[in-house]
Amino acid sequence: MSHSLAAVPFYWESKSDEPGFAIDIPAHWAQASRARNGVANVHFEKKDRAGRVAIEVRAYNSDDADLDQLILQLRTRLAVKYDRVYLQKRKELTFRKGVEKQVWSVRLGKQQFIATTAFVTQDNKVLQVICITPVKRRKEYEYVFDNALLSFDFSDGSGASTADAGGASNAAAPADAAPAPAPAAPTLPVAPQIPAGIVPAAPAVPPAAVPSDKKGVPKIEF
């Protein structure tokens, strides 16, 4: 696998009452995010001469988290961004039980793309992920997209169980254990002596931070 496609965990903390989430994303992909009115949109994008390659995550709350209804809403959103939208198939992920993926054929002008989408829901919380690539690049990014579909989840749905985490700390100490020795008092550092007649130089002022290059930042669309 290419070094540029090696994935690292990305964590999103709630900023406007939307659910937090985690997902594995290639380390060097450009990122942009926006959160407002209880909805967060986080886009990750890689430059590719063949066309747009991106992973888009949308986190929000919904009164109706029925999967069929969510797919209908997604189709409407895709139809706003693309000229032609066609749902090719729906299939449960072989590597993640209980999560279905939807494969779409979408067209923008003369460009043909494949969009792979999926949802994770919990009560009224919804996570939606869209993986988009030109048709000719589908195989190249298949591993990246599968990894995203495998890893994306709510922030509170990952990590060790509380029982496992608390097991070590709740264990009783042996009755005959000797008390720990008291820590030694810390030794205070001695201030260096400045020779007479020498004026210490003023500390250097750190250079102003240079703003990061905004070129190539993915566009967030609602």
List the beta bridge partners of residue 30. 45
**Beta partners for 31?**
44
* Residue 7 pLDDT: 85
Q: What angle do CA 140, 146, 152 make, to 5 degrees?
A: 135
Give residue 172's pLDDT: 39
Q: Which residues contact 22 (CB under 8 A, 6 or more apart)?
A: 9, 10, 11, 12, 151, 152, 153, 154, 155, 158
Q: Are residues 117 and 131 in contact, defined by beta-carbon separation less than 8 angstroms?
A: yes
Topology at the third CATH level for domain 3-157: Protein Transport Mog1p; Chain A (3.40.1000)
Could you read off the pLDDT of 138-188 as tens digits, one per residue? Answer: 999 999 999 999 999 999 863 333 333 333 334 333 444 444 455 555 555
Q: How much is the pLDDT for 154? A: 95
Residue-wise pLDDT tens digits, 188-211: 544 445 455 544 444 444 443 333
* Residues 32-51 pLDDT 10s: 999 999 999 999 999 999 99
Its sign, for the CA torsion 95, 88, 132, 98, is negative
Q: Tens digits of per-residue pLDDT, 90-124?
A: 999 999 999 999 999 999 999 999 999 999 999 99
Structural contact between residues 119 and 130, judged by C-beta atoms closer than 8 angstroms: no
156 — phi, psi (to 5°)?
-85, 5
